[in-house]
Amino acid sequence: MSAIDSPVLVLNQNYEPLNICRVRRAMVLILRGKAEVLENGRGEIHATNISLPIPSVVRLTQLIRRPRLQKRLTRFEIFNRDRHTCQYCGREGRDLTLDHVIPRSRGGTHDWENIVSCCFPCNLRKAGRTPAEAGMKLNRRPLPPPPSAFSVPYQYLNRHDDWQKFIIQAG
């Protein structure tokens, strides 16, 4: 990935994460005076008469008001909430599936409190039983994520340590 295609965390004026954009878009915001660089460290972009740092985190100079909505129950949001980690054995990875803690066949609901990320071996081991019946224990109790305007996908957090101080970790 070239430096111009690298992701940049965009913060609101109050330091709340708003979005992730590419360096090209962040540079336009900076040059127009709509954003300031908070973190860099990827080098510089050189033009004929100017040299600018390649940003990693920028903050907007004007406050953008966004509604706080409850997140939709999707695979992406559940994996993001659970940090791409099996909630039974703790194995982190991309090969995960969803598991109903209390199986739907036993009256379990399809909601935030009953669905967790699970690796395939643990899902096969648990099968259509409850964790207690299967002799398994949840690492964390599944909870709905707090309402917010934007959440940074977990895979970005692993690759960008300089973003950590701007992100409030849930759980």
Give pLDDT tens digits for 94-106.
Answer: 889 999 999 999 9
Task: Give the pLDDT confidence score for residue 115 in this predicted structure.
Answer: 97
CATH number of 75-134: 1.10.30.50
Comparing 69-78, 83-92, 100-109, 149-158, the range with the smallest average pLDDT is 149-158
Residue 132 pLDDT level (bands cut at 50, 70, 90): very high
- Please determine, for residue 142, whether its predicted confidence score (pLDDT) is greater than 80: yes
Please state, in angstroms and rounded to a whole number, the distance separating the CA atoms of residues 149 and 17.
8
Residue among 35, 72, 75, 76 at smallest CA distance from 57: 35
Residue 136 pLDDT level (bands cut at 50, 70, 90): very high
pLDDT in tens, 4-42: 788 999 999 998 888 889 999 999 999 999 999 998 867
What distances in angstroms separate CA 51 from CA 8, 31, 32, 35, 48, one per listed residue?
18, 12, 15, 17, 8
Task: Give the pLDDT confidence score for residue 49 in this predicted structure.
Answer: 84
CATH code 1.10.30.50 region(s) in the chain: 75-134
- Please determine, for residue 71, whether its predicted confidence score (pLDDT) is greater than 90: no
Residue among 170, 163, 171 at smallest CA distance from 18: 163
Contacts of 148 (CB under 8 A, 6+ apart): 16, 68, 71
- Please determine, for residue 171, whether its predicted confidence score (pLDDT) is greater than 50: no
Residue 116 pLDDT level (bands cut at 50, 70, 90): very high
Element (H, E) at 102: none
Residue 148 pLDDT level (bands cut at 50, 70, 90): low
What's the pTM value of the predicted model, to 2 decimals?
0.59
- Please determine, for residue 122, whether its predicted confidence score (pLDDT) is greater than 50: yes
